[in-house]
Amino acid sequence: MPDGPAHATTTLPWLAAGTQDAMRAAWVAAHPDRAEAAARDVVLARHPALPFSLLDEAVELVTRR
């Protein structure tokens, strides 16, 4: 496996994204009453150009268990 600054800059963002997803999932599990609001924030952060007419449907898909 490569070592050094170039390797760190290409690997760390991916690791950080995975860590953020895990932390988000843990937070939603701990706060089920806020899951819809959290899902809405996640959907808008990942897809800022998503039309608001599709936002509720996307949130429902994210929070479905």
On whether residue 14 sits in a domain, the answer given is no
On whether residue 30 sits in a domain, the answer given is yes
DSSP secondary structure string, 4-53?
Answer: SHHHHHHHHHHHHHHHHHHHHHHHHHH-GGGHHHHHHHHHHHH-TT--HH
Domain that holds residue 33: 21-63
On whether residue 13 sits in a domain, the answer given is no
What would the pLDDT profile of 16-28 be if each residue is shown by its tens digit?
Answer: 556 667 777 777 7
On whether residue 51 sits in a domain, the answer given is yes
On whether residue 29 sits in a domain, the answer given is yes
When divided into structural domains, the chain yields a total of 1
Instruction: Decide: pTM greater than 0.75.
Output: no
Q: How confident is the model at residue 48 (pLDDT cuts 50, 70, 90)?
A: confident
54 three-class SS: helix
